[in-house]
Amino acid sequence: MTCAAPALVRGQDSFTPMPLDSGFGPLDTRPPAVPPDQIIQQFAAKETEYKAALGHYTYRRTAKIDTIDDDSHKITGEWYEVDDVTFRPDGGRMERVVDAPPSTLEQGGLMMSPTDLQDIEHGYPFVLTTEDLPKYNITYVGREKVDALDCYVFDVVPKRIEKNQRYLDGRIWVDAKDLQIVVTDGHMVPDDTKKGQEDLHPPFMTWRQQIDGHYWFPVYTKGEGILHFTGGYGAMDQDIHIREVVKYTDYKRFGSSSTIIYDGQDITKNGQPGNSPAGGPQQSGSSGQPK
CA separation, residue 80 to residues 4, 23, 101, 108, 209 (Å): 18, 29, 7, 14, 24
The strand pair at 204-210 and 149-158 is best described as: unpaired
Q: What is the pLDDT of residue 291?
A: 36
Whether the full predicted model's pTM is greater than 0.75, yes or no, is: yes
Q: How far is CA 75 from the centre of its chain?
A: 23
CA distances from 267 to 44, 53, 154, 242, 256 (A): 19, 10, 29, 41, 13
Residues 101, 78 contacting (CB under 8 angstroms) = no
pLDDT tens, residue by residue, 4-43: 543 322 233 333 445 666 688 999 999 999 999 999 999 9
Cα–Cα distance, 83 to 125 (Å, whole number): 15
Give pLDDT, residue 262: 53
- Residues lower than pLDDT 50 in the chain: 5-17, 257, 272-291
Give dist(CA 4, CA 107) in Å, integer. 9
Separation CA 136–CA 159 (nearest Å): 5
Residues in the chain: 291
Domain boundaries, given as residue ranges, for the chain: 2-284
Amino acid identity, residue 48?
T
Query: Distance (Å, rounded) from C-alpha 166 to C-alpha 169?
Result: 10
Cβ contact 261:269 at 8 Å: no
Which amino acid is residue 22, in one-letter code?
A: S
Cβ partners under 8 Å of residue 239, min gap 6: 226, 227, 228, 229
Q: Bridge partners of 152?
A: 143, 174
